[in-house]
Amino acid sequence: MKTHYYLGWFNNFFPETLSRLLRDDITDRKSIAMISSNPSVYEDDGATERSWLDQAGIRFDEYHLINYRVHKEEAQAKIRNASVIFLLGGNILEQNGFLLEYELSESIKESSAVVMGASAGAINMSAKWLSSSNFGDEVEENSVYTGIGLDHFSVLSHFDLENNFSLVQRELSPLSEEIDIYASNKDCAIRVKGDKIDIFGNVFLISNSKIQKLDETL
């Protein structure tokens, strides 16, 4: 049964409820492949996300950071052999381009590893996502990008929804006519395990231009 975690951003650490679920789901801890969202920047990349896992008591025998220092074929092999794949937060467009250039999406989709993504990483795990300057992306016009497509929905992760409710609904309405969109702020998570979708924190569903807050299930 495949397990995917779409995370927001955690200013401190994972809450205990989420930590417990991750400990239960991540039983194989041989290796973790952490995919950079700033693949040309090497210093301290992934340190924050690793600290979340450390605090939750989840440690691995091997840690692999996937960026431009790693050859394409080696990166694909590390992903194929990983117990957990973690798409790091940061620059969504840089990570999307890196996934395409290194042809990593199929390896991730075919993997039986637990796949996690934080902020930018969560967005790139989804099937499609909207790039907009109103969401902080450095773009001149809105564009829809193709993500890995682990699950058939879109994600807007780590965005101040409460103070930009109308903006989010207006920007995402066209895409929501094609595909469901899960939008969340910080300290939130969406877990997909098999066919079941669980919600942690303040998460909204935008579907057919309508937006509703979802009840927590975790």
CA 111 to each of CA 3, 35, 175, 188: distance values in angstroms, whole numbers, following the listed order: 11, 14, 28, 24
Over residues 154-195, the pLDDT tens digits come to: 999 877 777 777 788 888 899 999 999 999 888 999 999 999
Total domains in the chain come to 1
- Tell whether 95 is covered by a domain: yes
- Return the higher-pLDDT residue of 162 and 29: 29
- Tell whether 218 is covered by a domain: no
CATH number at residue 179: 3.40.50.880
Q: Please list, in sequence order, all residues whose beta carbon lies within 8 angstroms of the beta carbon of residue 170, skipping any fewer than 6 positions away.
A: none
Over residues 59-111, the pLDDT tens digits come to: 999 999 999 999 999 999 999 999 999 999 999 999 999 999 999 999 999 99
State pTM to two decimals: 0.95
- Tell whether 96 is covered by a domain: yes
- Tell whether 152 is covered by a domain: yes
Residue among 213, 154, 146, 156 at smallest CA distance from 183: 156
- Tell whether 163 is covered by a domain: yes
- Domain, as residue range, for 195: 3-213
- Tell whether 183 is covered by a domain: yes
For residue 24, pLDDT beyond 90: yes
Q: Which of 1-5, 14-18, 159-163 has the lowest mean pLDDT?
A: 159-163
